[in-house]
Structure 1
Amino acid sequence: MDFIKNDVLTRLFVRYLAGGSSLRQTRGVTRAQIALFESQAGFRNQAVLQQAHFNYVFNKAISVFINQGVSVNSLCRANAILLNSQPDDTIRKVECKVSAPNGERLYIPPSPDRLHALMNKYVSDVKCQEPGLFNTIINYSRLVNIHPFYDANGRTARALAFAQLHKQPSLLLCFLYRLSADKDDYFNALHHYDVTSNEYVDCDYWSQAKMWAEETSSQCLNLIDTVNKKLTAPFILMPQAQVHLSVIRFLWFHPVVFLASLAKKLQVRIDYLQSVIKSLCDNRILVPRAMRYPEGTVVFECPQILATFEQIDSLLKNNLPRSINED
């Protein structure tokens, strides 16, 4: 099976990038709850619905940049998707200030009369760049400092960074370093750049972020690879094992499944899929769970994958590089 570890890892990053206050918004929502909602078995919970919505629109914003590239139009469209607004209404027409959660003023962005010229220059500079981490850092920081939109400037900048590095999760991971780093260091790193910066400025924060990303990404990818080999080992040599392997691959993206929706998504006859699910349950890869609501509904979850996701989440939030721990 063509198992793509990087795709699994990048999917896990989204929940930490998609919200306005990512850590606060994800604390009360588990991976299992999101997976249960996505199984289409009928599970509903307000916090889960909110997080699922954040994830969905963030992925749509990423797709805008991947499919259309960077332009003033694509930036406005991505921001409008995040805020459920119209692209023509996204660029702000009023003065504003950027404040920390405690109310402390951090930064006064450019006045509205400068925004169109700054955005045009920004897009022109981005189009002339070679792809890579350092240019993505410039683009991310610079867009946050231009602060062209009424809201979701950080989310728009993160969606652009995700699009520019989505094939290189070890580099993309640098933008999750803020989950573990000192907030002041993060804000200071942002302000190494002004609204016209187009050269990378080396600073401790981004150097540490890169080191942390390389170490953590390697650990995460090895963990996924090890668990996947355990999951697929009982079936790899089995005649006609393709559906078993397809279900296991699907589980890495949706670790809780509902038989009816799974059959539709994989385009497999439900009677044949039932035998595959039974085989996966016999091998303790899947575990049936009866739902309280809708009453009588049964879903199947993969404890090993859910446990793997918990381990990865722990690494993303707590795995600081040695040199940082020693300071």
Structure 2
Amino acid sequence: MPVTNQTNYEFYPFPLSEFCIRYLCGGDSMRQLRHVSRTELLLARLGLDYPEGALLDMRINRFSHAVELFSNLALSKSTLLEAHSTLTGTDTRGFRKNESWIGPDKASSKYPEVASVKEIDQALSYLVDDHNSSSHLQPLQHVYSFMELLSIHPFQDANGRVARAFHIAQERKMGIQVPATLYRYKHGENELYIGEAHNFKASPKTYLTNTEFWQRAYDWSDFATEKILELIKNAKNILDTQTLLTPLNSVDISIIKHLWQQPITTQAYISQTLDLPIYDVGKSINTLVSYNILQPSRIKKRTLQPVYHNVALVNLYKNVEKLLFK
């Protein structure tokens, strides 16, 4: 295959929200079922006894249904409740009696005040630098409190599934990219800063109005989105440096592009996903390993295939996760 000029190629474009959702989506729902293979999912859909495959299929269908609800209906409390009911299988009638569960519409509604963007900037710098010492508890508790606040209005689904369904629907309908930084997961009880965060929450609070709350929320979203784009740019620079003087063919480049969506992969998965002959994929993998673009990390238990990863892109995903959810 012809050698391509390595200084000019570009990676496939992808929406930022899709990038984040692909790796982080699901919280306590779909994320826990990431180990279910496509084969198991297919067999479950054909009626065979694969309980986890059937559960994942149900959740995927519910998520798709919720997206359709948001695509076809005007945004309203009833729509939010119906989508939540679809995703969780719960009865929404009880929630209608307590509309503050979704969030009041009145401008006089109040929400606890949270850290400023400047304080969050300081906290994020600690997170990105991966500092974990006790001296960093103070900024971390601000991030915890702020992300907790984002989770209660207007989508009080702990895993953010309703919010994701709405945002994906908006993206399809209007062609806009809603930042994935409005999503959060439930925090476990063992994080270093949880105790400090609880103490912080117990202290006296000032309050924001409904309008101020949303402004602060979107300020956070824009700010964190810039941080994610910066991380992506840094990862791309590292990968560009690795490939700059490397003679790569079209299969090699296809694999590198694929790594942006799947930084940990196998020869068989690449062959299937990119519809390439497995021999060509194997040859390219050997080339990429020899130039340290790919690294073998372990052997897959069920198939005994080597698993490969690109360090820069794996670190990118880890840093995005730290930035948003830890």
The CA deviation at 1:158 is 3.9
Per-residue CA deviations over 1:163-186 (Å, capped at 9, x if unaligned) read 32576556442345998998899x
Given that residues 264 and 308 in structure 2 are in contact (C-alpha distance below 8 angstroms), is that contact kept between their aligned partners in structure 1? yes
The CA deviation at 1:276 is 1.0
> CA 1:168/1:245 → structure 2, altered by over 3 Å: closer, same or farther?
farther
From 256, 275, 284, the equivalent of 1:276 is 284
User: What is the aligned-residue RMSD (CA, Å)?
Assistant: 5.2
Q: Distance in 1 between matches of 2:234 and 2:55?
A: 29
Tell me what 2:258 maps to: 250
Tell me what 1:156 maps to: 162
Tell me what 1:263 maps to: 271
Q: Secondary structure at the match of 1:315?
A: helix
Tell me what 2:299 maps to: 291
Given that residues 258 and 300 in structure 1 are in contact (C-alpha distance below 8 angstroms), is that contact kept between their aligned partners in structure 2? yes
The CA deviation at 1:269 is 0.8
Per-residue CA deviations over 1:178-202 (Å, capped at 9, x if unaligned) read 98998899xx87xx6xxxxxxxx41
| Map 1:296-315 → 2, pairs under 5 A | 296-315=304-323
Given that residues 39 and 261 in structure 1 are in contact (C-alpha distance below 8 angstroms), is that contact kept between their aligned partners in structure 2? no
2:169 alignment partner AA = A
| Map 1:118-133 → 2, pairs under 5 A | none
**TM-score, length of structure 2 as denominator length:** 0.54
Tell me what 1:207 maps to: 215
**Sequence identity percentage:** 20
| 1:230 and 2:220 aligned | no
The CA deviation at 1:274 is 0.8
Number of equivalenced pairs: 246
1:255 alignment partner AA = P
Q: Distance in 2 between matches of 1:310 and 1:207?
A: 28
Given that residues 265 and 307 in structure 2 are in contact (C-alpha distance below 8 angstroms), is that contact kept between their aligned partners in structure 1? yes
Structure 1, unpaired ranges of 5+ = 43-47, 98-106, 111-139, 146-150, 193-200, 319-327
The CA deviation at 1:302 is 2.1
Q: Distance in 2 between matches of 1:176 and 1:281?
A: 36
Structure 2, unpaired ranges of 5+ = 1-8, 41-51, 101-151, 188-193
The CA deviation at 1:270 is 0.8
Q: Distance in 1 between matches of 2:91 and 2:160?
A: 14
Q: Distance in 2 between matches of 1:71 and 1:213?
A: 21
Given that residues 62 and 162 in structure 1 are in contact (C-alpha distance below 8 angstroms), is that contact kept between their aligned partners in structure 2? no
> CA 1:175/1:273 → structure 2, altered by over 3 Å: closer, same or farther?
closer
> CA 1:8/1:61 → structure 2, altered by over 3 Å: closer, same or farther?
farther
| Map 1:157-172 → 2, pairs under 5 A | 157-165=163-171, 169=177, 171-172=179-180
